């Protein structure tokens, strides 16, 4: 008879203990240990390959072949995945409730089904009729799209073996369970075991599987970090629920870059691609207002022009506040310290609020110059030229350092009608600038301030 074992498992990090504790010693979270029962019957595990009798091979003797990716009708989606869907891959998509994860995957499923790709859409949260209502709203009419409402992984595996689909969607992993694991669906044990079984199905049958994951209050995918380590790619679907724009960002991708970003707009008939995001982010920009600058940032291989807004005001408390939205909050006091030391702007008693307009998150050092000039503009209450774009990394000694892909950044700015580009002087050589935009090279933050405000 199979033996049962009781243990307490942390629902945040996966740490397990033979007894209950109020605080997890691994992640230091309170009241996260939950009692779970598992059957210890020592089943025979099999590998993920076709042949379980694998032997070591010399890496020089292994033959490879370039397999074509499965492309959808959304170039933005293909770009984030590195050029398309890789056969046999396991992809995890996370996002806030109601952000549009199911809508995106249903649209992708319909596009693939229209190309004679057999698609199995498995919903553990909705019935087939509820899925049909969303499909009618999105205009899904393909006969190659099959819908299944099931949460038992054993029954799901049987249906996959019978149908043999070319593309599978699991919505969501927190609702799927295995009979052998006695804990509740969504627990650490269930999520880990179900994801491992889905990975085996994907690798063995050479079929791509997309799974939807819930997120916690902090914005990370619910469950242990092991879930993100097991899959081949992790995509985050971001955006404000009260705004129409959505951003699909890759944070892990074994088959492509993790710096790509896809932008969509939520409409009544579904998600539509935003082909020129720079125009969207700058369409509501105010002209001639102090504290506003524009930076050309790189999101993967695509340049995006974004507005940086700053507000500097005298503090009402003993300690000045430093707040930032869309950039690293530690970068704001660092750049303010450079302005104080190298330029002489005394802002010790000033509150600073910095924001990236449009809800975009920027994390590259090339935005330093635009942030610093934006802070100085608000402090001096003097507006920058509306047709200037600033690009450059600011060092602690006040120097403006070289950035990558300067040619693509300047070309994007020229395409949108900007007249001047203030860039690091070390980026002036080795490329040809467009005729309709003036290029100004600067070596220090003092020189950049002089060029911007004179």
> Considering only CA atoms, which of 364, 310, 318, 363 is closest in space to residue 339?
310
Taking residue 136's Cβ as centre, other Cβ atoms within 10 Å add up to 10
Which residues have C-beta within 8 Å of that of residue 222, sequence separation ≥ 6? 174, 186, 213, 214, 215, 216
Q: Which of 178, 175, 210 is nearest to 193 (CA)?
A: 178
CB 103 within 8 A of CB 136: no
Going by C-alpha positions, the residue among 448, 253, 415 that lies closest to residue 261 is 253
102: annotated binding-site residue?
A: yes
- Cα torsion through 343, 349, 353, 354, rounded to 10: 20
Q: Tell which residue, 268, 266, 243, 259, has the closest CA to residue 361.
A: 259
Distance CA 439, CA 443 (A): 13
**395 marked as binding residue:** no
Residue 350's CB: how many other CB atoms inside 10 A? Answer: 19
Residue 149 assigned as binding residue:
no
Q: How far is Cα 75 from Cα 276, in angstroms, rounded to an integer?
A: 12
* Rounded CA separation 287/270 (Å): 33
d(CA 262, CA 72): 14
Sign of CA dihedral 319, 323, 329, 331: negative
- Helix segments in 339-405, DSSP class H: 368-380
Distance, CA of 45 to CA of 39 (rounded, Å) = 15
359 known member of a binding site: no
The answer for 186, left when phi > 0, alpha when psi is -120 to 50, beta otherwise, is left
Burial 44-55 (b: 16+ CB within 10 A, else e): eeeeeeeeeeee
Cβ atoms of 260 and 299 closer than 8 Å:
yes
On whether the CB atoms of residues 422 and 404 are closer than 8 A, the answer is no
84 known member of a binding site:
no
Is 262 annotated in a binding site? The answer is no
Residue 95 assigned to a binding site? yes
Rounded Cα distance, 426 and 400, in Å: 9
The reply to whether 100 sits in an annotated binding site is: yes
Residues that constitute the known binding site: 95-102
Q: Residues at the annotated binding site for ATP?
A: 95-102
């Amino acid at each position: 008879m199979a033996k049962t074992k009781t243990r307490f498992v942390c629902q945040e990090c996966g740490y397990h203990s033979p007894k209950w504790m109020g605080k997890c010693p691994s992640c230091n979270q309170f009241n996260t240990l939950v009692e779970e029962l598992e059957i210890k019957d020592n089943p025979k595990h099999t590998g993920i390959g076709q042949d379980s009798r694998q032997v070591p091979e010399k890496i020089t003797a292994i033959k490879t072949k370039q397999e074509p990716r499965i492309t959808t009708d959304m170039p933005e989606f293909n770009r984030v995945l590195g050029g398309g869907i890789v056969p046999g891959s396991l992809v995890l998509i996370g996002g806030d409730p109601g952000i549009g994860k199911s809508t995106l995957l249903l649209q992708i499923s319909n596009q693939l089904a229209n190309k004679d790709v057999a698609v199995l859409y498995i919903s553990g949260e909705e019935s087939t009729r509820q899925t049909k209502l969303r499909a009618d709203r999105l205009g899904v009419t393909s006969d190659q799209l099959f819908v299944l409402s099931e949460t038992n992984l054993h029954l799901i595996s049987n249906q996959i073996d019978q149908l043999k689909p070319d593309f599978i969607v699991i919505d969501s992993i927190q609702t799927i369970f295995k009979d052998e694991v006695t804990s509740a669906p969504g627990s650490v044990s269930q999520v880990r075991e179900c994801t491992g079984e889905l990975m085996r199905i994907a690798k063995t049958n050479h079929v791509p599987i997309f799974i939807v994951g819930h997120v916690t209050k902090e914005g990370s995918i619910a469950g242990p970090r092991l879930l993100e380590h097991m899959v081949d790619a992790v995509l985050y679907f971001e955006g404000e629920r009260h705004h129409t724009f959505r951003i699909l960002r890759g944070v892990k991708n074994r088959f492509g870059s993790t710096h790509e970003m896809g932008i969509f707009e939520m409409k009544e008939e579904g998600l539509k691609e935003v082909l020129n995001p720079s125009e969207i982010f700058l369409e509501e920009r105010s002209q001639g207002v102090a504290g506003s600058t524009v930076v050309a940032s790189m999101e993967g291989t695509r340049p995006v022009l974004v507005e940086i807004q700053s507000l500097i005001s005298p503090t009402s408390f003993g300690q000045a506040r430093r707040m930032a939205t869309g950039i690293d909050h530690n970068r704001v006091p660092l750049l303010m310290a450079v302005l104080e030391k190298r330029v002489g702007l005394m802002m010790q008693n000033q509150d600073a609020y910095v924001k990236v307009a449009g809800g975009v998150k920027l994390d590259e050092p090339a935005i330093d110059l635009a942030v610093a000039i934006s802070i100085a503009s608000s402090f001096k209450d003097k507006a920058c030229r509306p047709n200037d774009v600033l690009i450059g990394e600011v060092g602690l000694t006040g120097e403006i350092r070289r950035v990558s892909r300067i040619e693509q950044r300047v070309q994007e700015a020229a395409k949108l009608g900007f007249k001047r580009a203030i860039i690091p002087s070390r980026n002036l050589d080795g490329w040809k600038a467009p005729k309709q935009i003036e290029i100004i090279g600067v070596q220090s933050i003092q020189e950049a301030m002089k060029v911007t405000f004179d």
